[in-house]
Structure 1
Amino acid sequence: MRLNRLTIYGFGKFHDRTFRLAAGLTVLLGPNEAGKSTLTQFISAIFFGFPTKKHPELRYEPLDGSRFGGEIAFTLAGTDYLLSRVDGPRGGKVTLRNTTLNLTLPAATLSRLLAPVDAQLFKNVYAMNEPQLGTVFSASKQELVDRLRHVGAVGSDFWLRQAQQLDRAADDLYKPQGRKPALNQLLQEHATLTAKLNKANASYATYWDLLQHQQQRRQQQTDLQRQLAVQRQIASQYDQQLALWPVYQQWRELASTPTSTHDGFQQRDATALERLTNQVKATQAAQQADQDQLSSLQAQQQLDPLFQDYLLVSGQVDPLIARLPDITIAERERHRLQADQADLQHQADGIEQQYAADGQMPRTFSLATTQRVRQLKSNLTLATQKRRRLQQQLNQLNEQYRQQQPTRQQHKNPLADKQIGWLAAGLIVLVGSMFLPATLFKLAGALLGVAVGYYGVFIVDSSTPASRQQQSLEEDIRDVQAQLREDGQVIDRVTRQLDDIGDAHGLGNIPVDQWTAAQEAIVTWERLTQRLEATTAQQATAAQTVTEFQTAVQRVLPRAAANDLTALITQLKTLQATQQRLQSQESDVTAIAARLKRDQVASDQAHQAVTTFLRTRNVRSTDAFYRQYEQVRAQGNRLSQRAALAQQMGDQQLAALQRVSDQTTLRQQETAATQQVTTLQHQLDTVTEALATGAGQLAHLTASGTQATLRQQLANLETRMQSLTQDWMVDRLVSQWIAATLAAASGDRLPQIVKTASQFYGKLTENRYTEIELTPTTLRVRRPDGAWRSVSQLSRGTAEQLDFAVKLAFAVVMAEQVAMPVVIDDGLVNFDDQRRRAAYRLLATISAKVQVILLTADPVVADELTTETLIRLTD
């Protein structure tokens, strides 16, 4: 297997970080807390799962709250895979892809790809750090042998643990010099039981006599307990009969209740009479309701004058009545439009009051004008800012110039006092040269005179520091003033352009900084004006519809309230309802008359049914029926009460009470039964006391157990001893068999691993130790002079180098069967400088066969190893 890339979504201090690894040796260099241990744990977690939340220190959850997890791209057997794992149940959610074939594989495929490497083998062999290398120094000889066997036989951890558990189980059963093991305790108990059995054999005759007496007393005790139980039951029955005697007396009194001979007065008969009575009431109520409705219809025959006019022009009015829903909607819409018109007009008037000072609203900008105004405003702002800055600079320069005036008087150059003298000298030389004979001399004298005068006028005065500083300030002031004039011209030009635009669009009276708000208000005003026009047109249409409807109604019905639309609609609806009512009035009167006849027939039949019901029971009225019904119901209640009392006493107790003449006799029988219970209880207590005395004597004789019991206990104990002995032998034999099997399983690879480890160990120690010897009980190394040293005799660093060499040897020898990279996390901190360099050279050598990932804080590694992939974690 070769790891190609590590991508961390969020793990420990890393988030959104990618590391690309070489096929051979990759070095990741960084100081403490740079994330070296985090990367080691990241590789283990992505391959074998995140630890549970019970161990938060091993989970390395991201510190910044980013997504927990990452992915590893690796190559196995010429196929590229991409493994990703994020936070989730059971070690995280796994996604595995075969990127060579672009296939998504099940998560269970990962364990088959990594087999036979599991998390424990990766941690013990392939992931190396200083604490793990240090365990070889503190481990016992047997533990060192087991670790090497684990290296030599893949998957032997489980069987080694099983062998250790079997050895511990065997030691818990038996130890030659132990006292707490179970088998040792059973041996001591066996000796104690043997002594007790010998003592019990000596007192066997006395024990036998006491045992026979105890059996007789137990038989007597059983008979007395049986008699006592029977007598207690008899006494209990008498007690129950005495308690039920008042109930029995009440039952006897209720036995004199006469039986009713009247039929037809049961609950169902009362219900039938109630139903017939309700029918009479219902028919009477229906008859009265129909009579009232008939009177109402007759009273409605009077018609108002408007309806009489309607009857004459119904053909013209009915189409107008059919339009009532539309007219109602039109009137409601007209009122709504009036409210909307007032609101829109109010908004438009507010905008006009604010921006239409001369009665004319400004015009909106075009898109080009808007962009130009925005650019001019920006230029004006920049020019204003620049002018303010130049003005401040000019003020500062003027202040400096003012401060230089007294200073220049105090530090004047002494040669400046002779300026007039120099100028006079120059004039004298110039005039004197005119009197020279030769032209060349005249020219030279004139030049000399001019030079002397120039020096006196300009050079002498400007040669002072104060004059030079003053000239510099004057030049700066002139330059700033020139820039101010130019900037003022720019501001004036931009202002004129903005004024032209404002005048052209009616915004001359509005400040420029309010133009944006004004434009938005103008757009709103135009939109309000358009909506107001549309609302006015809609309102006019609705009003015209209502007016035409009112005119049409007034034309055919002059009596109608044509001016008030609400009253007009009410009148038309009344006309419509009256017409419908009159159309159905004739049929209603006929139907009500028929119902009155039927109601009269039903009433007569209901009265006849009630009369027949009372006559069949020989009563004249319903009140007489209910009086007789109450008497029958009272008799039934007494009979039900008597049956309930009989059920409360029970058939058996009722029959027993009927056999008793009076309560006094029953009480005498109860007293006699109680006295018999007391006598039997006293006899039972005497026998029980004798049994307890005999039991004490037997317990004294059998303090160490009876012969049979002791023999049985001894036999049971020997059976348990045999079972535990078999378990002890099985545990021992299986443990020895596992050890022999592991030795045989690792025999073909272990010698090669030990040989390779010897070579590596020699290179690490610079041939100070040349051979490693592994036997079933010892682990030692040999020096060049032939002397052997055990692990306990080595220094800590040398012992760690031994474990380092063995693990590297395993990785190299098993590279074909177990393809897994070696990850070293600062595992060489206890190596001295020379051996650490030797370890670096050894890692560079084996990286040709096994991928090596070295995480270290040693800066020397950058000079010692020639690797193409050197990653600095601090970058």
Structure 2
Amino acid sequence: MKIKEIEIYGYGKWVDKSFTDIGSLQIYYGKNEAGKTTLMSFVHSVLFGFPTKQSSELRYEPKESTRYGGRLTVTDTPYGDAVIERVKGKANGDVTVTLSSGVVGSDELLETILYGIDKKTYQTLFSFDLDGLQHMQKMNQKKLNRYFLSIGTLGNEQLLRVADKFEKKANELYKPTGRKPKINQKIRQVEAKRKQVQAAKEKNQQYMEFYQLKSELEEKIQQSKDKRDELQEKIQDYQRLNANWNHYAEMQSIQQQMTKEKLTELPEEGLYQLNNLQERIGEIKEKITDIHEELLTIQKKQEPSRKLRFYFNNETTVEELLAELNDIQQQAIEQEQLQVEVHQLEQQLIQKKFDLGLAPDSSIPEPLSDQVKQRFYELEELMKRVEQEQAEAKEKEQYLNYQNQSLFQQLDSLEQRLWSQEKFQDAEKEYKKRNVEETAYTTSRATSNQALSTKSKSPVFLILGVLAVAIGLLIHNMMGYGLIGIGILSIVWGLKRKSPTAVESSVTPSKTADDEFSASSYEEFIQQKELKKQWREKLAENDQVTYDLNQIRELIVRLEHESNELQKEENGLRTEYGYPASFSVVGSGMDADPFQFIRELNADIRSKEKRIAELEQFIGYWSEKASLLEAVVFLDWNSLPSIINGLVNYKEEVANERIQRNQLLQSEKEVHNRLQHWDKQQKELETQRMELFRSIQVKDEDEFRKKYILFQNLTDKKDRLSVLETQLIDDLNLYNQFKDQAELTESIQKHSLAIENRKQTEEEMLNEKINYELSMQRLEEGGEYSVLLQEMSILENELQMIVDEWSSYKVASTMIERTLNLAKKDRFPQTIIDTAAFFALLTRGNYQNVYVEEERLLVQRKDGALFDAAELSKGTAEQLYVALRFAFVKNTSDLVKLPLLIDDGFVNFDSQRKNEMFELMNQMSQTTQILYFTFDETIDQSYPQETIEML
């Protein structure tokens, strides 16, 4: 069997999918989740049934389709081409098999097409993936032979299961090395009891005497039985004569008839001529019968169909419906166009809403009053003004920060270049003393006063600085940070101004001051005076900048608060009137309404929807009137295109049927002409037959044949007599001993009576022997021996019953397998030979032979070393099992032709091994169809593109 086409209605991810032109070697390539395993499972399910809900296998019921199942188109079956369809139903689904001849069957026909193989056997031998490949390592010679038995004959697998059942029950009763089976336990009990009986025998003194007498009786009984057997054999001979007495009597009757009756010779061709005429007349009658059936068929075809009768009965209504068909089609087109336009307008409306900041499902805002627009405008203008003032304030704040940092840097630079206050005052004092000696005292007093004034001012700066830092830490804003900076500068300045020895050094000149002044030039002193002046100016400028910075920061805070309040009011108005956050009166203009366009779009949509509803109402009225045809036209009456097409087809069918009826009338005339021709031929042949009857002086066919039969019987009896004489030649002497069958019967009864007498005599001797045995038992001390004998007898009887049961199971199992073995060739050796050849190909000659022992598989390397399959590497072991699987399929191909399904069974093969595997698949595909499912991206390098189906 080969799969020609796969059509999936719904199975897992596959819905309404077809695979056609499937070749002898078909590769299905796809990445993970592409549906390879699902497709392979679909083939299994169609052939053998869907997995039940209680099964562990996946059912692959589709989630996107209500149809579950599909069909396979197959060729090269015992019945030719066939279509196997399976859909959802009870248990494993409902299957239908349609042959090319038109015959339709179900499960029984499918089982015949599949050669009686069940799903488990198919998956074991003809369908495998990586797990199934590794499962082959559990195969031994016994299991493989069992698979050979189950292949080829419908019903063998059921017989094998019965044989397995019998074999299992036999093993439960007895095992050669077992301890728990019943027979093993009973044998041990009998042996133990037999030893006890033997020990009891040795204790009895008179046992041997009774035993001798018993033995003599047993000998006499046996002699009587032998004589009885001889009599029984003679009775069997006589019974055989009695059974064949009819043959003997027939032989005597034929001999007498041959002597008494003689017939004249009849022409040899007479019976041939009659048979020829009868055959030709029979053929003509068959043709006439066929013609009558053809006429009957034509007459039946002339009967108007249900659709045509309906048309005749409702012609006016039907024609009205057909006349309105063009208008309905135009209205349907208009409705479809309007629906498309509505959809487009709705999309445009959603986009416009999105552009204007509205949600797709939100309502369209109503137009604003002039008062509300004016308030929106005022709020936006106020926010613009606040934003502008905020930008200007921040720009000024940035400038003041820069100016403040610049003044700090200039002060630091000047302070680094200034002399200490003590040094400057000493230099100034010395300068005045030298240049204006008469005013030295006055200058000294002035300097002293200045120093005292400076000294008195130093604590004030320290106190102000500490207060500024404390207030800045409490405020925690930009103004506070400015106060902290001012406070730190004040503290630094106060510390620099405070000099405890300044006044003394200016009033009381010393040698040190003279020395310092002498080291400094007059120009440097003038430069220091200028630097001190610059330093005082920069310090005053810094105080002013700090004050301005604090003022501008307070302004920024106020503007931020004002902006928030304006924004809050504007958002409240937008929420109240349903306008988006992006709406702006200033941006759209006081008179323009940006939402007017979407209001017009919405009105257009409502108008078109109203027209659609009107068209639906009119079309619905027409469809309701057309539903009159539901009784004769089968279609989807919920679909307008289906109704229109159905009515058009109905009209064409009615017209075609009228034409066919006219053609049938012409055909009927032609058939009548042929009928008249064959009637004439039949009459001519019947006339010839009557002339043949007259030639041998008979009236009819019965007399004609009886005359020939009588002649033939005489000839046959001669042959029969020869056969009977040959058959009875060995018993003729015995037959001659009896004059008739009654005498033979009397002799049989006589011998039977003699046998009965001997049986009675044997019974008397047997009773006497039993008496001796009883006497032997009574002689046993304390009756122990008799008890032991009885117990041993009971045990032996029990053992015999179990053994009989075991024998029944064993014989039944053996007979079933022997019977099946007679119906098959011994394919196992050839399978092992082919396995070795395939394995050598896959391993590039590294392994030469394969051997199967009772429970394991051995391979021989080219150097002669033997390895168990378990000792091979994973890839090599899988190659071995692939070779074994392919060899099995090859050696059963004459009995079973089924496709071989492989789901990426070679993922553990390296590139070289895969190439050899692909070569083997090419060879196998010459006789067996192979469907290979893989995600190997290099597959296109080994096979032509037309053999690969991309999933």
Shorter chain as denominator, the TM-score bin is 0.3 to 0.5
Please give the TM-score of this superposition, normalised by the length of structure 1.
0.38
Please give the TM-score of this superposition, normalised by the length of structure 2.
0.35
